[in-house]
Amino acid sequence: MLALRLAIKNLLGAGLRTWLTAGVLSIAFVVMVFYHGLLDGWNLQARNDTREWEIGGGQYWHPSYDRFDPFSLQDAHAPLSPQARELTAAGRIVPVLITQATAYPDGRMVNLLLRGIPAGQQILSLPTACLAADSVEIPALIGRRMAAALRLQPGDALLLRWRDVHGVFDAREVTIVDIFKANIPSIDQGQIWLPLDKVQEMTGMADEATLLVTARDLPPVPLAGWTFKDPDFLLKEFTEIIESKKAGSAIVYGTMLAIALLAIFDSQVLSIFRRRREIGTYMALGMTRGQVIRLFTVEGAAHSLFALLLASIYGLPLLHWLGTHGISMPEVADATGMTIGDKMLPVYSAGMVLFSVTVVILSTAVVSYLPARRIARLKPTEALRGKIQ
Amino acid sequence: MENQTIIDIRELVKRFPIGDGTFTALRGITLSFEKGEFAGLVGPSGSGKTTLLNIIGSLDAPSAGSVIVLGKEVARLSHHESAALRNHHIGFIFQTYNLLPVFTVYDNVEFPLLLQKGSAAARKKAVMEALEWVGLAEKAQSRPAQLSGGECQRVSIARAMVKRPQLVLADEPSANLDADNSHHILRTMKRLNRELGTTFIFATHDEKVMRYLDRIIGLEDGRVARDERIENAAEGDHPPASGEAGRSELPGEEDYARP
């Protein structure tokens, strides 16, 4: 307590120098919390959206299916087992049949994935009800990114060519009945959604599917001939992207933190240089060298308390505002191919704030301790005379 | 006053390394001090006064010989033990006051007590008492920058006395003060010496200080050149009223002249 009390008095006595250092440190702290919150918010939002729109409570995959290898689709299909059919009928899973196809919009040729999904499914947020339209022969649903890329509007016809189960090419015209808006590029870019029964009929894969999407509350059960992939596995790549983004953002706030820590280090070196007589006085009054070192370490580390105080004054309202209003993302963000909402809403968890506080306090304590160690080599008599050793 | 040796110095030698060689600051000093003495180490600059004072205060260690302070052999004390000895039993008064500038007068005086274990109430009582002794109770909340040199040195005396030490070491306490303030702080210290039985040892070459000393130890080139007891040294003052400046009560120079 004595060290802290003395440290705070000394820091307040140092005036502007203390507040400038604490100010930079507080910015580093706020930026650290903001970046972490932003990435955590993005992660949370993207995971929720992906589960809502694409993966539900997990997916059962055909053993040959590889989502990163379109050629695996040729073999990755199998008839639904009676158990799977039962679950489908109960609305607990949604079968999806995927095959490669080529579209010819305006005379261009575009490779895409043809996805068959039951029009009446309720598990995913995809507006598949429109696929039940009987006014057109083959209704098709696409996302806004796909619509923009192919310049398609609802009601437009699109020529598709695909190969059936025997490898025979066939072609039909489909009609775009709706364009959905989702933050998930993997269900939008290069994808076209058709009624499952149509795709099964077009490919000659009656009653077959490539994967089965489960309801979010369905506990994983073994399904013969299918491999269950949980959401963590399905979101693994996205999680890795977030982690790499976090590492990248650490460079930004790490630089600011480093500037503040350098200022504290310099202040400490200067303090020990200028306050030798004071150090000698402490020793003469009965402080041990260890106590004096602790005093100077606490004094340096106390910058972080001032920084937290400053950060709470301007940072709390700012972070709260950002957390409630979010940050609008530009249209170009869609082109990144990553799941990004129109607005990113930072999410601040107690653990993350505690982590940031700990990083700031510990790092200031370390940079304060390093120069303070020199006090151990000071002789009290020399210190009292203000001599440099 | 009972005769009780509180400092016993035998054949003390202190050498300092200088370049490739050494400089011998103290050459075989043998001295002892009784409880309640008001003694001074006098001599020109470089005679070894401050070095001897530092070793007695366990701020420095002897190169050879023995120094026993309050029953403890200074050379054998660990850092912690010498810090504890200084904190509990030895008060220091410095030429440049060495007050902590960011602290108030009260905080400065309280500081040595904060290093000890004691209640806040006991600390407050001791601090206010010490400030009363030096007549600065009303300036308890002032900061050192708001005080005159004489007042700063009186705060320094209060800080040295607040823990009721057995020994106070004062290194040129009057060097930065004018004559009036010098007399005032010396009278204060003399009074505390008389009333509390605290042993005071000064390092000085100030004639004004010498007039108050009961014992003068002359040092020359690190040796004791003379050790003289003074029978009729100048006396201390009466306790000043709280906050009252000492100057108005000060006697003229002639009052301090030795008979």
What's the order of all strands across the beta sheet hosting B90-93?
Answer: B90-93, B167-171, B199-204, B38-42, B215-220, B223-229
Answer whether A286 sits within 8 Å of B112, measured CB to CB: yes
**Is A372 inside a domain boundary?**
yes
Identify the pLDDT of residue A339. Answer: 72
Indicate the residue among A168, A200, A229 that finishes a domain: A229
Q: What is the DSSP-derived secondary structure letter of residue A311?
A: I
> At residue B43, does pLDDT exceed 80?
yes
Residues 6+ apart with CB under 8 A from B40: B201, B202, B203, B204, B209, B210, B213, B215, B216, B217
Whether A68 is in a domain gets the answer yes
Q: What is the 3-state secondary structure (H, E, C) of B27-43?
A: EEEEEEEECCCEEEEEC
Question: Which pairs with CB-CB distance under 8 Å and at least 24 residues apart come from A228-232?
Answer: A228/A58, A228/A59, A228/A60, A228/A61, A229/A58, A229/A59, A229/A60, A229/A61, A230/A58, A231/A47, A231/A51, A231/A55, A231/A57, A231/A58
| Same domain for A218 and A89 | yes
Contact A343, A12 (CB under 8 A): no
Tokens describing residue B233 = 């040294």
Angle at A199 between CA A195 and CA A204, to 5 degrees: 150
- Kindly state whether residues A291 and A370 are assigned to the same domain: yes
User: Would you state the pLDDT for residue B188?
Assistant: 87
The C-alpha of B102 sits at a distance from chain A's nearest C-alpha, in angstroms, of 6
The residues facing B169 across adjacent strands are B92, B201
Which residue from A minimizes the CA distance to B169?
A284
Pick from B59, B100, B112: which is nearest to A381 by CB?
B59
Based on the fold, state whether residues A292 and A354 are members of the same structural domain.
yes
Q: What is the total count of domains within chain A?
A: 2
Which of A196, A211, A229 marks a domain boundary? A229
β-bridge mates for residue A141, sequence order: A178, A193
Convert the pLDDT of each residue in A262-288 to its tens digit: 888 887 888 788 888 899 999 999 999
Among A229, A257, A291, the domain-final residue is A229
Give B61's Cβ-side CA count (13 Å radius).
9
Please indicate, yes or no, whether residues A29 and A149 belong to a single structural domain of this protein. Answer: no
pLDDT for res B193 = 92
User: Which of the four pLDDT bands, split at 50, 70 and 90, describes residue A241?
Assistant: confident
Q: What is the CA radius of gyration of chain A?
A: 31
Look at A275 and A112; give whichever has higher pLDDT.
A112
Structure tokens at A357: 């506080």
Is the pLDDT confidence value at A2 over 80? no
Q: Are residues A185 and A262 in the same domain?
A: no
Closest CA to A339 of A266, A241, A259: A241
Yes or no, beta carbons of A381 and B111 under 8 Å apart: no
Distance CA B114, CA B118 (A): 8
In terms of Cα–Cα distance, which of B69, B67, B24 is closest to B47?
A: B24
* Pairing relationship of beta strands A139-143 and A169-180 according to DSSP bridges: parallel
B79 CB within 8 Å of a chain A CB: yes
- Rounded to a whole number of angstroms, the distance from the CA of A313 to the nearest CA of chain B is 26
Domain check: are A36 and A117 in the same one? no
Q: Is residue A126 part of a domain?
A: yes
- Residue B50 C-alpha, separation from nearest chain A C-alpha, in angstroms: 9
- Mutation target for A interface from B15, B74, B79: give the one with most A CBs within 10 A: B79
Whether B220 has a pLDDT exceeding 80, the answer reads: yes
A285 neighbourhood in chain B, CB within 8 Å: 86-87, 92, 111-112, 115, 159
State how far the Cα of B252 lies from the Cα of B259, in Å rounded to an integer. Answer: 15
Q: What percent of chain B has pLDDT over 70?
A: 89
**Whether residues A73 and A215 fall in one domain:** yes
Top pLDDT among B254 and A8 is at A8
DSSP state string for B119-176: -HHHHHHHHHHHHHHTT-GGGTT--GGGS-HHHHHHHHHHHHHTT--SEEEEESTTTT
pLDDT tens-digit map of A292-326:
999 889 988 888 889 999 999 999 999 999 989 98
* Predicted TM-score (pTM) of this structure: 0.70
Work out the number of other CB atoms within 10 angstroms of the CB of residue B218: 17
A19-67 residue pLDDT tens: 888 888 898 889 888 988 988 888 888 889 999 999 999 999 999 999 8
Is residue A305, in this structure, part of any structural domain at all?
A: yes
A389 in a structural domain:
no
A30 and A48, same domain (yes or no): yes
3-state helix, strand, coil in chain A (%, to 5): 55, 15, 25
Task: Give me the phi and psi of B171, to 5 degrees please.
Answer: -100, 105
Lowest mean pLDDT among A218-232, A331-345, B96-110: A331-345
**Residue A203 clears pLDDT 50, i.e. is over it:** yes
Residue A157 lies in a domain: yes
**What pLDDT is attached to residue A335?**
67
CA torsion, ordered A217, A222, A226, A227, to nearest 10 deg: 80
Whether residues A26 and A67 fall in one domain = no
- CB within 8 Å: B112 and A285: yes
Torsion of CA B58, B59, B63, B66, to 10 degrees: -10
Shared-domain flag, residues A24 and A107: no
Question: Is residue A33 domain-shared with residue A90, that is, in the same domain?
Answer: no
Residue A153 has a pLDDT of 94
Q: How far apart are CA B210 and CA B38, in angstroms?
A: 10
Question: What was the pLDDT predicted at A242?
Answer: 84
Q: Which domain holds residue A259?
A: 2-52+237-384
Which residues of A lie closer than 8 Å to B, measured between beta carbons? 2, 6, 9-10, 12-13, 277-278, 280-281, 283-289, 291, 379-381, 384
Nearest chain B Cα distance for residue A10, angstroms? 6
pLDDT bracket for residue A333 (50, 70, 90):
low
Question: Does the pLDDT value for residue B249 go beyond 60?
Answer: no
Locus of tokens 């507006």: A127
Cβ of residue B54 closer than 8 Å to a chain A Cβ:
yes
A146 occurs within a structural domain: yes
For A136-188, the pLDDT digits (tens) are: 889 999 999 999 999 999 999 999 999 988 889 999 999 999 999 988 888 99
* Together in a domain, A84 and A191: yes
Instruction: Kindly list the structural domains of chain B, giving each domain's residue range(s) and its CATH number in brackets, ordered by start.
Output: 36-59+80-244 (3.40.50.300)
Q: What pLDDT, on a 0 to 100 scale, did the predictor assign at position B258?
A: 33
- B 152-181 → A contacts, CB under 8 A: 159
Phi/psi region, residue B30 (left: phi>0; alpha: psi -120 to 50; beta: rest), is: beta
A44 to chain B, minimum CA–CA distance in Å? 49
Distance, in angstroms, between A15 CA and closest chain B CA?
11
Q: Does A284 sit within 8 Å of B57, measured CB to CB?
A: yes
Which of A281, A282, A287 would best serve as a mutation to test chain B binding (most B beta carbons within 10 A)? A281
Does the CB of B57 have a partner CB in chain A at under 8 Å? yes
Judged by CB atoms closer than 8 Å, whether chains meet at A284 and B114 is answered as: no
Q: Does some domain include residue A209?
A: yes
How far is the alpha carbon of A312 from chain B, nearest alpha carbon, in Å? 26
Chain Cα centroid distance, residue B216: 15
Which residue is closest to A275 within chain B, CA to CA? B100
Of B167 and B3, the one with more pLDDT = B167
CB atoms < 10 A from the CB of B188, how many?
A: 23
**Given phi > 0 = left and psi -120 to 50 = alpha, else beta, which region is A81?**
beta
- For residues A94 and A333, give the distance between their C-alpha atoms in angstroms, rounded to a whole number: 30
